[in-house]
Structure 1
Amino acid sequence: MTTGKDLLDLGFKSGKWFKEALEHINAHGLAGEAMLAYLREVGPPPALPLLPAPQPFFENIRADTAVEQQNIDYVRLSMQQLMRTPTVVTGAVMPDACPAGPPGTIPVGGVVVARNAIHPGMHSADICCSVMLTNLGKADPKTVLDVAQRVTHFGPGGRPPERQYPLPAALRAALAANPFLNSEKDLSLAQEHLGTQGDGNHFLYVGTSAATGDTVLVTHHGSRGVGARLYSAGMKVAERFRQQLSPETAPANAWLPADSPEGESYWAALQLVRQWTKLNHQYLHDDIAERLQASVQQRFWNEHNFVFKAGDLYYHAKGATPLAAHFLPDAADARRIIPLNMAEPILIVEGDVTANNLGFGPHGAGRNLSRTGHKRSKADKTKEAWFAEETRGIDARFFFNEIDISELPSAYKNAAEVKRQIAEFGLARTVDEIQPYGCIMAGDWEVNAPWRVKKRQEK
C-alpha cells in the first residue's frame, strides 16, 4: 500500500490533496510511471524558485545630494531584490522614488510588471489613491476653498449619517456579490466613507490654470477603509498561494494567479474599488460646485496606486501615474495630474509609452526622509515658525487646526528638480500648470485623539 511517506520520498509536497490521491492510487493499484503520471496531474506544481538574477528595470532618477543618493541606493537595492520574484518581467523607477518598507518592498515611485499575477503588496493598502481635477471657470479661489472646507471630511472614520452621500444600489449590489467585498463591514464602510479623504498626504487643492486663468479644484485621496480591507484580504489569499507556489518569495511580494478563481475575483474587486473611489471624488466635487452655483467646465482624473492590465501582463504602480491610454479606458482626456507639494504648481501632463517609462510618469515629488526623520531635521524651530515660512503666499489650512510638519513643502523632494528629471528622461510633457491659491490637509489629528486627550488629563 502506498503511504504519504512514499509520496514525500518522491519529492511531492504534503497537503490536503494527499488523502484523496492516496485513496485513488490504492483503489486502482497504481504504481511506477502510472502513479507518477497521476500525481503530476493532481498534485500542486513544483515550487517556483527565485529568479537567479534580477529582471531588468529602468532607473528614471538621479541624485544631486548625498541624502538623495542614499535614498536611490536603498530604492535600487529594494528593486534588485524584488525583481527576482518568479512572476516579474520588468520594472521602472520614477524621479519621485523613495523607500516604502524593508529591502525587497516595491518603493513609492515604482512600477513592476508581472506575468499572469496580481501582487497586492505592490499596490499597497491605499488602493486607487488618485487625483481628480474640476475646472470651475472664474469662481473666486478663496470662496471655493471656504466652501470646500465645509464640504470635505478628513481624518479617521466616516461621515456622520446626516451628511452621508448615497451609495448607488447597483454599486452596492456589485460589492455584495464579490467574495472579497461582501462582508457587512465592507458594505458599511462603502457607505460611511463616501466623500472622505483620510489623512497623511491627501489634500484638497485650489489653484488657477496658467493656460486659462480658470479656477481649478483638485482632490487627492484613495479608497479609504474599503480598499484597505480588500488589500488585507488579498494579502491573506496571496500568502496561501505563496506557501504553495513559491516559498522562497518574500511575503510582501506574494501573488494571486490571475487566471485562478481567486485571482479573477480579486481583479473584479479592484475594478469595483476603482469605481467607488472615482465616485468618492465626484461627490465632493459636485457638492462644492453646486454650493458655489458654478458650472463645471471640464473634469478628469487618474489613479496612481493601482494595477493595470495589458494582455497577460499586470502593471503594478505604487505611486506612478499611468500615461498610456489603454491603462485608463474610461478616460475621455489624455491629460494626467501630477501634484508636487502644497506651495508648488500641480503639473498637467501628457505622455507616450517609451522603453524606459513603461507607460508611466511620476505621481508627485516623493520624499528623501521619513516623516519622523523630517520632523527631527526641523527641530531647531517651532512648527508654527516652519509653517509660516513654508506657506508664505498661499492659503494653507489643516482640517484639525494642528500643523503637520511632515506635510510641509520641505518634506518633499525639490519640485524643480523633479520637473527637470521628467523632461530629462522623457517621461511626460507638461501642457499646463495649476498655480496654487491654497489647500486643505488633515493635519496632525492624532494630537487631540481621544486616547491622547485622556492621557493628558490623567497627567
Structure 2
Amino acid sequence: MNGNDITALGFRGKAIGLALDAARERAKTGVTNRDVLTELAHVQHHPESFTDDPDYAALARELLGQLAKVPDALRDRPLAYRQWGEDLIEEGARAQMDTAMRLPVSVAGALMPDAHFGYGLPIGGVLATDNAVIPYGVGVDIGCSMKLSVLPIEQLSREEEARLLRRNTRFGAGGSWERKVRPDHDVLDEDTWDEFPLLRQLRDKAAEQIGTSGSGNHFVEFGTLTIDRPDLGLEPGEYVALLSHSGSRGFGAQVAGHYTRVAQNLHPKLDPEARKLAWLDLDREEGEAYWTAMELAGRYALANHEVIHQRIAQTLKVTPLVTVSNSHNLAWKQRFSDGREVVVHRKGATPAAHGQLGIIPGSMADPGFVVRGRGNPAALESASHGAGRQMGRKQAERELDRAAVTRYLEERGVTLLGGGVDEAPQAYKRIEEVIARQADLVDVVAKFTPRVVRMDTGKEDI
C-alpha cells in the first residue's frame, strides 16, 4: 500500500502520512490491504469513534482538527454579558460564564440572579451560540421543567394530600412504577425512538420511569395559589394547586453523557478549562442527532408531569381549571432583533418571552411564583428558574442543623414527605430577593405557598 491508495480515499495533508503509517502497522499484524482500506474509510467518516484506538488515534485526532469549522482556540477575553442580582451570584459561577463567553461559537449571554456553580455552563446561565449546541450547556437533566395545575376543589386535609402524593408519585434515581400499574403516554409511541440506536436502546428505560420524579430538588407538592390579577383567566383569590418539578430521568442523563463525550472527542484541542463546554455543529450528523434526542427528552420530561398531574386529578375526579408549564434545561433556536438565528441554551433559566407564562419555585418551605415574561433582549428573553443554591449539597449536610430545618418547616406550616438536609430551605437563596432582582425580566401574576411536599428521601432525611 502506498500514498496513492491513501489519497484515493480522500485523505489530505498530514492525514495522508498518518493513515499510511497506521496501514503499515496494521499490515504487520496480518490484516489484508482490503480490510485496512475499509478500516481507514470508517476512521475517515467517524473519527470521533477512534480517538482512543491504539492504531488510529493520531489519525483520528488529525481528521477532527481538519473537520472543525471553528478553531478550538478560546477568545483572549470573554464577550460582555449582563448579570442580574450580581450581589447574589458566587464568583465560581461568574468564572464559568466567563469561560463560556470565550468560546469561539458564543455570541451572547446572561447570568440570572439564582446563578451558581455547575458543570460546564453555570446553573442560571443563558448562552447564545452560532449554529452549535453544547450538551453541558443544556445540562444533564435535559428538559427539567415545572408544571402547575389549579384544581377546582376545597382545601383538603394534610392527611388526604399526603395520601394522594404517596399513592400517585414515585421518586429516586432508579424510581419507577410497578409493572402492573405502569402508566403510558403518547411520547413513548413516537417514531423518533427508532431514528438511531441510542434512542432505541433507551426507550425501555424511559418507559419504566414515565410519570416519576428523580432525586435532588425534584418534588410534587400541594399548596395554595394566591391570585391578585386576572392573568390566568381566574378571579383573584386563593385556590388549591398542585406543583411539580421533574425532568427526563435516566434517559436524559444518558443522552447528555453520550453526546458530551462525542463533543469532547470532536474538539480534542479545546482548552481543559472549557472541556465541559465542547460543542456539536448543527450541520453535522452528531449535532443533528443530539438535537433530535434533546427535543425528545424535553417532550418526555413534560410527559412525566402530565402523567403525575393526570393521576392525581383523576383520583380527585376533577379537571384542572388552569395549567402552566415551562422547561428550564433546553436549547432553543431563536432570532435576534437583527434577524440572525442563534441557539439559546438555558441551563437552569426560565424562558421569558414577552407575555410568556412561567414558574419560578422557591424551596420546600418557601413560596414559588407564576410569572409573565417581559421579553428583555439583554437577558435573551430569560429569567431565573428558582431561588438558586447558596450552599453545595455536601456543605449543607455538614453545616445545617436538622432541628433548625424542622423548626423552619413547622413555622411555615409545611408537611414534608422525604426530603434531605441537602435540600433544606437554608441551602437556598431567599426567593423574594431573587424575584426582586429581575423586575425587568418578569411580572409576578400569582404566588404559590407550599403545604404538603413530597421529595426523594435524600442522603440524610430531615
TM-score by length of 2: 0.79
Q: Which residue, 109, 122, 126 being the options, matches 1:111? A: 126
Superposed, 1:182-193 pairs within 5 Å as 182-183=200-201, 186-193=202-209
Q: Does 1:369 align with 2:385?
A: no
Q: Which residue, 223, 226, 232 being the options, matches 2:248? A: 223
Amino acid at match of 2:384: P
Instruction: Specify whether residues 428 and 442 from structure 1 end up closer, same or farther in structure 2 by C-alpha distance, changes over 3 A only.
Output: same
Superposed, 1:195-274 pairs within 5 Å as 195-211=211-227, 212-243=237-268, 246=270, 250-274=274-298
Aligned to 1:347: 369
Distance 2:425 2:187 in 1: 41
Q: Which residue, 142, 158, 165 being the options, matches 1:148? A: 165
Work out whether residues 131 and 281 of structure 2, in 8 Å CA contact, stay in contact via their aligned partners in 1.
yes
Superposed, 1:377-388 pairs within 5 Å as 377-378=399-400, 381=401, 383-388=402-407
Aligned to 1:412: 428
Distance 2:447 2:16 in 1: 58
Work out whether residues 50 and 248 of structure 1, in 8 Å CA contact, stay in contact via their aligned partners in 2.
no
Bigger shift: residues 427-436 or 360-369: 427-436
Q: Which residue, 328, 333, 343 being the options, matches 1:309? A: 333
Aligned to 2:53: none
Query: What do the CA deviations read for 1:165-213 (whole angstroms, capped 9, x no partner)?
Result: 1243863532132344121xx1111111001101100111211221131
Count how many residue pairs are aligned between Structure 1 and Structure 2. Answer: 401
**By how many angstroms is 1:432 displaced?**
1.0
Distance 1:49 1:17 in 2: 29
**By how many angstroms is 1:10 displaced?**
6.3
Amino acid at match of 1:335: L
Query: What do the CA deviations read for 1:339-395 (whole angstroms, capped 9, x no partner)?
Result: 0112222101011222321110000000122111123222xx4x2453133442323
Aligned to 1:438: 452
Q: Does 1:360 align with 2:374?
A: no
Q: Which residue, 322, 337, 349 being the options, matches 1:320? A: 349
Instruction: Specify whether residues 285 and 55 from structure 1 end up closer, same or farther in structure 2 by C-alpha distance, changes over 3 A only.
Output: same
Work out whether residues 390 and 410 of structure 1, in 8 Å CA contact, stay in contact via their aligned partners in 2.
no
Q: Which residue, 413, 430, 435 being the options, matches 1:394? A: 413
Bigger shift: residues 292-301 or 213-222: 292-301
Instruction: Specify whether residues 15 and 112 from structure 1 end up closer, same or farther in structure 2 by C-alpha distance, changes over 3 A only.
Output: farther
Distance 1:254 1:55 in 2: 18
Aligned to 1:131: 146
Query: What do the CA deviations read for 1:74-108 (whole angstroms, capped 9, x no partner)?
Result: 2222211221111111111001011114xxx3111
Superposed, 1:165-180 pairs within 5 Å as 165-168=183-186, 171-180=189-198
Percent of aligned pairs sharing the same letter: 28
Bigger shift: residues 76-85 or 120-129: 76-85
Instruction: Specify whether residues 147 and 16 from structure 1 end up closer, same or farther in structure 2 by C-alpha distance, changes over 3 A only.
Output: farther
> SS in structure 2 opposite 1:243?
coil
Distance 1:350 1:321 in 2: 11
Amino acid at match of 1:307: A
- Structure 1 regions of 5+ residues with no counterpart? 24-38, 326-332, 448-459
Work out whether residues 342 and 396 of structure 1, in 8 Å CA contact, stay in contact via their aligned partners in 2.
no
Instruction: Specify whether residues 43 and 398 from structure 1 end up closer, same or farther in structure 2 by C-alpha distance, changes over 3 A only.
Output: same
Work out whether residues 353 and 376 of structure 2, in 8 Å CA contact, stay in contact via their aligned partners in 1.
no
**By how many angstroms is 1:443 displaced?**
2.1
> SS in structure 2 opposite 1:100?
coil
Aligned to 1:457: none
Work out whether residues 367 and 413 of structure 1, in 8 Å CA contact, stay in contact via their aligned partners in 2.
yes
Distance 1:169 1:195 in 2: 12
Distance 1:54 1:15 in 2: 36
> SS in structure 1 opposite 2:378?
coil
Amino acid at match of 1:407: E
Amino acid at match of 1:317: R
Distance 1:150 1:56 in 2: 50
Q: Does 1:164 align with 2:182?
A: yes
Aligned to 1:294: 318
Work out whether residues 180 and 266 of structure 1, in 8 Å CA contact, stay in contact via their aligned partners in 2.
no
Instruction: Specify whether residues 385 and 171 from structure 1 end up closer, same or farther in structure 2 by C-alpha distance, changes over 3 A only.
Output: same
Amino acid at match of 2:332: F
> SS in structure 1 opposite 2:126?
strand
Work out whether residues 3 and 20 of structure 2, in 8 Å CA contact, stay in contact via their aligned partners in 1.
no
Query: What do the CA deviations read for 1:317-353 (whole angstroms, capped 9, x no partner)?
Result: 110001127xxxxxxx831100011222210101122
Work out whether residues 133 and 343 of structure 2, in 8 Å CA contact, stay in contact via their aligned partners in 1.
yes
CA RMSD of aligned residues (A): 3.1
**By how many angstroms is 1:436 displaced?**
2.3
Amino acid at match of 1:100: G
**By how many angstroms is 1:232 displaced?**
1.3
**By how many angstroms is 1:9 displaced?**
12
Amino acid at match of 2:449: Q
Distance 1:334 1:115 in 2: 25
Bigger shift: residues 265-274 or 47-56: 47-56
Distance 1:369 1:107 in 2: 15
